[in-house]
C-alpha cells in the first residue's frame, strides 16, 4: 500500500486522572497527540507505512513525543528538531451533563515557529502516495500556513492524493481567516473530512434542519452541505462525521460520505464514552486507509465509522485498534462479548 505522509503538530496532552477536575489534579496523565499525528498512528496500526512530519525541540520532552510515535510504528525520521517548546493541551474529562474541557497552551511551539526552509517537501514526498493535513496546522501561524501551501503544491506536483480534515479551532483563528486560508488550500484536496460544525464555521455551509447542541441532525441537510462543498472545491470525496451529543458520557456516532455521485450514511453507533478526543482523526485515517485499499464507498464509510466508534472506547488521542477489530465491528458484531 502507498506510503502516507501527515504533517502538523503533536502536543503533550496532560489530563487529570479519571473524572478529576483541573483544580483537583495532583497528577496529570501524560500522553501525546494531535490531529495529523493521530492519523499517522491509526494508519501505522493498520499496517500502512506512515510518516509524521513536524518540528520538535531537541530536549527530552520533544524526544518523548517522538518516542510516542515510534512506539506505535510511525516513521519519525523526517521530523525536524529545533525550536523552544512542545505545544501542550490540558484535557479535563467530562461526565454526564458536565462537558469535557480543553485548555490549550500551544502558542509558539516549535512547529508554530517553524520556517518554510525547515521542510524539503519534494524530498519528504519521495516514495509517498498520500498527504494528509488538517485545518489546525495552517491556523498555528502564518508561517505554518505557508508551509502547508508549499506542501500541498509539492503533493500535487508529486501526484499524491491529498486529504484534509477541516478541524476548525476558534481560539486559533477567526472564521473569516479560516475561510480564506482554507479556501486556498482546498484546491489541492481530494478528500475533505469535516464534522457537523466545521462546514459552517469555515465555509459558512450549514446543514438546514440540524441543531447541534440540541442533538438534532438532519441527514438531508448534511447531504446538501456536502454536495455544495464538493462542488465548490472539486472534491472527490466529502465526508462528515455526525455526533449526537446526549451527554458527556453518551453519544450517538455516525458519518456520511459523498463520493461525487451518491451520498451514503453509515450505521449509527450509540457509544458509551471512554475518551472521545481523536474520534474525528480516527475516522479520517480509516477513510484514507479504505481509499488506499480500494474499498467501495459504502464499505470504506462503514469501515471508517466502525474505526472511529472504537476510538471512543480508548484512552488517549491514538486509536490503538487493529484492522481485525475494526473489520469485526464493521461486519456488525458490536455486542462486546469477551474475546478469549
Residues carrying an active site annotation:
281
Rounded Cα gap, residues 126 and 129, in angstroms: 9
Q: Which of 1, 2, 49, 63 binds a second copy (CB under 8 A)?
A: 63
314 binds a second copy (CB under 8 A): yes
| Residue 110: its H or E element | none
- By the rule CB under 8 A, 269 interacts with a second copy: yes
| Residues that contact a second copy, how many (by CB under 8 A) | 88
Would you say 63 or 218 has its CB closer to a second copy?
63
CA distance 170 to 177: 11
Distance separating alpha carbons of residues 290 and 39, to the nearest angstrom: 13
Using CB under 8 A as the binding rule, the residues of this chain from 93 to 122 that contact a second copy are: 94-105, 107-108
Q: Does 214 bind a second copy (CB under 8 A)?
A: yes
Least gap, CB of 326 to a second copy (angstroms): 10
- Report the C-alpha gap between 237 and 100 in whole angstroms: 31
CB of 27 to a second copy, least distance (A): 5
Where does this chain touch a second copy (CB under 8 A) — which range of 119-127, 177-185, 201-209, 303-311? 303-311
132 makes contact with a second copy (CB under 8 A): no
Angstrom distance (rounded) from CA 229 to CA 205: 8
Binding mask 16-45 for a second copy (x = CB under 8 A): -xxxxxxxxxxxxxxx--------------
Q: Among 204, 207, 298, 318, which residue's Cα sits nearest to residue 257? A: 298
**Is 61 or 78 the residue whose CB approaches a second copy more closely?**
61
Binding piece for a second copy, criterion CB under 8 A, among 33-41, 156-164, 242-250, 256-264: 242-250
C-alpha cell at 151: 506542501
Task: Specify whether the backbone of 267 is left (phi greater than 0), alpha (psi in -120 to 50) or beta.
Answer: beta
CA distance 89 to 87: 7
Does 204 engage in binding with a second copy (CB under 8 A)? no
Nearer to a second copy, 214 or 294 (CB): 214
Contact predicate 204/176, CB 8 Å: no
C-alpha cell belonging to residue 189: 484536496
What is the smallest separation between the CB atom of 197 and a second copy, expressed in angstroms? 9
Residues in the chain: 340
Distance (Å, whole) CA 105 – CA 86: 9
Q: Which is nearer to a second copy, 191 or 285 (CB)?
A: 285
Binder among 3, 55, 132, 276 for a second copy (CB under 8 A): 276
CB of 72 to a second copy, least distance (A): 7
Name the residue among 123, 165, 119 with its Cα closest to residue 146: 119
Choice from 122, 127, 142, 170 touching a second copy (CB under 8 A) = 170
Amino acid at each position: 500500500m502507498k506510503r502516507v505522509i501527515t504533517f502538523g503538530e503533536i502536543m503533550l496532552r496532560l489530563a487529570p486522572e479519571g473524572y478529576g477536575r483541573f483544580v483537583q489534579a495532583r497528577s496529570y496523565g501524560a500522553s501525546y497527540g494531535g490531529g495529523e499525528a493521530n492519523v499517522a498512528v491509526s494508519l501505522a496500526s493498520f499496517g500502512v507505512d506512515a510518516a509524521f512530519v513536524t518540528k520538535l525541540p531537541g530536549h527530552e520532552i520533544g524526544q518523548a513525543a517522538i518516542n510516542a510515535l515510534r512506539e506505535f510504528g510511525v516513521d519519525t525520521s523526517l521530523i525536524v528538531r529545533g525550536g523552544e517548546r512542545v505545544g501542550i493541551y490540558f484535557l479535563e474529562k467530562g461526565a454526564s451533563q458536565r462537558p469535557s474541557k480543553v485548555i490549550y497552551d500551544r502558542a509558539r511551539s516549535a512547529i508554530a515557529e517553524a520556517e518554510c526552509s525547515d521542510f524539503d517537501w519534494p524530498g519528504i514526498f519521495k516514495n509517498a502516495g498520500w498527504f494528509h493535513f488538517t485545518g489546525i496546522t495552517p491556523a498555528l501561524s502564518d508561517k505554518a500556513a505557508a508551509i502547508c501551501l508549499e506542501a500541498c503544491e509539492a503533493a500535487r506536483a508529486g501526484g499524491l492524493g491529498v486529504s484534509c480534515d477541516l478541524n476548525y479551532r476558534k481560539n486559533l483563528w477567526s472564521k473569516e481567516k479560516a475561510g480564506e486560508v482554507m479556501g486556498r488550500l482546498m484546491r489541492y484536496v481530494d478528500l475533505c473530512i469535516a464534522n457537523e460544525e466545521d462546514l459552517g464555521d469555515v465555509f459558512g455551509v450549514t446543514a438546514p434542519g440540524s441543531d447541534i447542541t440540541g442533538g438534532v441532525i438532519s441527514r438531508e441537510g448534511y447531504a446538501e452541505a456536502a454536495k455544495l462543498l464538493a462542488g465548490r472545491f472539486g472534491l472527490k470525496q466529502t465526508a462528515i462525521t455526525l455526533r449526537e451529543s446526549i451527554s458527556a458520557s453518551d453519544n450517538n456516532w455516525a458519518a456520511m460520505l459523498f463520493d461525487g455521485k451518491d451520498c451514503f450514511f453509515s450505521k449509527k453507533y450509540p457509544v458509551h464514552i471512554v475518551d472521545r478526543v481523536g474520534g474525528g482523526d480516527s475516522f479520517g485515517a480509516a477513510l484514507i486507509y479504505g481509499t488506499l485499499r480500494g474499498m467501495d464507498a459504502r464499505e470504506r464509510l462503514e469501515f471508517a465509522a466502525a474505526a472511529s466508534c472504537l476510538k471512543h472506547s480508548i484512552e488517549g488521542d491514538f486509536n490503538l485498534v487493529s484492522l481485525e477489530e475494526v473489520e469485526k465491528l464493521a461486519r456488525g458484531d458490536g455486542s462486546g462479548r469477551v474475546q478469549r
